Chain A
Amino acid sequence: MKTVMARLAKRLVAGVIMILVVASFTFLLVRLMPGNPVEAKYQSLLLNGLTPVQAMDEVRVMYGFIPHQSLWIQYLHYLGQILHLNLGQSISYEGTPVMRIILGAAPWTIILVLTGTVASFIVGILAGVIAAIRRNSPVGSAITISGSVLHGIPLFVMALFLAYVFTTIWAVLPFGAPYNAALTPGFNGPFISSLARHALLPVFTYALASYGGWLLTMKSSVISVLGDDFILASEVRGLKTSTRVGYIAHNAILPLFTILALSLGFMFGGSLFIEDIFDYPGLGNLLVNAINNRDYPLMSGAFLLITVAVIASNIITDFLYSVVDPRIRR
Chain B
Amino acid sequence: MSMRLPKTVLHNRSANPNFRQSFWGFAWRTIVKKPGRLIGFAIIVLFALMGIFGPYLYPAQLPINPNAIYAPISWQYPLGTDFEGTSNLALVVTGARYVLFAAAMGAVFTVVFGTILGLCAGYFIGLTDSVIMRITDFILTIPSFPLLVVLSTVWNFGQPVAMGFVLGITGWGGLARAVRSQTMSLRERGFIEAARGLGLSPLYILFREILPNVGSYIAMNLLLAVTGSIYAEVGLFFLGVVPFQVNNWGVMLNLAVFSAGAMSSPQALPYLLSPMLAILILTLGIVLFLDALDEMFNPRLREV
Contact = CB atoms under 8 A, between A and B. Distances in A.
A287 interface: yes
B142 interface: yes
Contacts of A32: 154
Chain B contact residues, majority secondary structure: helix
B283 A303 contact: no
A272 B149 contact: yes
Contacts of A156: 231, 234-235, 238, 253
Interface stretch (A18-26, A200-208, A240-248): A18-26
A262 interface: yes
Interface string A1-23: 00000000000001000100110
A38 interface: no
A303 B257 contact: no
Contacts of B147: 303
Given A154-B235, A160-B257, A273-B235, A314 B141 contact: yes
Contact of A157 (B142, B149, B280, B287): B280
B146 interface: yes
B143 A154 contact: no
B140 A268 contact: no
Contacts of B253: 156, 160
Nearest to B152: A291
A270 B145 CA distance: 8
Given A154-B235, A168-B264, A292-B240, A18 B149 contact: no
A153 to B, nearest CB: 7
Interface stretch (A65-73, A96-104, A304-312): A304-312
B255 to A, nearest CB: 13
A259 to B, nearest CB: 10
Contacts of A157: 276, 279-280
Contacts of A265: 140-144
B149 A22 contact: no
Q: Is the interface on chain A under 10, 10 to 19, 20 to 34, or 35 or more residues?
A: 35 or more
A125 to B, nearest CB: 21
B263 interface: yes
A163 interface: yes
Nearest to B151: A29
B191 interface: no
Interface in B140-183: 140-147, 149-154, 174
Given A152-B287, A160-B263, A268 B146 contact: yes
A33 interface: yes
Size bracket of the B interface = 35 or more
B239 interface: yes
A230 interface: no
Contacts of A306: 143, 146
B157 to A, nearest CB: 13
Interface in B233-270: 234-235, 238-241, 253, 257, 263-264
Nearest to A273: B235
Interface in A91-150: 148
B142 A307 contact: yes
Contacts of B144: 265, 269
Given A154-B234, A160-B263, A160-B272, A299 B143 contact: no
B140 A262 contact: yes
Contacts of A292: 240-241
Given A154-B235, A276-B239, A33 B142 contact: no
B287 A273 contact: no
Nearest to B231: A154
Nearest to B284: A152
A29 B239 contact: no
A168 B137 CA distance: 42
Contacts of B276: 157, 160
Nearest to B242: A291
B141 A299 contact: no
Contact of A310 (B142, B153, B264): B142
Nearest to B272: A160
B263 A310 contact: no
A222 B151 CA distance: 40
B138 interface: yes
Contact of B138 (A18, A34, A154, A168): A18
Q: Which of A152, A156, A273, A284 has the most CB of B within 10 A?
A: A156
A195 interface: no
A157 B231 CA distance: 10
A314 B142 CA distance: 11
Contact of A269 (B140, B146, B240, B279): B146
A277 interface: yes
A29 B146 CA distance: 14
A163 B263 contact: yes
A155 interface: yes
Interface of B: 137-138, 140-147, 149-154, 174, 227, 231, 234-235, 238-241, 253, 257, 263-264, 272, 276, 279-280, 283-284, 287
15 contacts: A18-B142, A153-B283, A154-B279, A156-B231, A160-B253, A160-B276, A168-B263, A262-B174, A269-B145, A287-B150, A292-B241, A299-B150, A299-B153, A306-B146, A311-B141
Given A153-B283, A288-B149, A294-B153, 18 more contacts: A29-B151, A152-B284, A152-B287, A153-B280, A154-B283, A156-B253, A160-B257, A167-B263, A265-B140, A266-B143, A269-B146, A270-B145, A272-B239, A287-B149, A299-B150, A303-B147, A310-B141, A310-B142
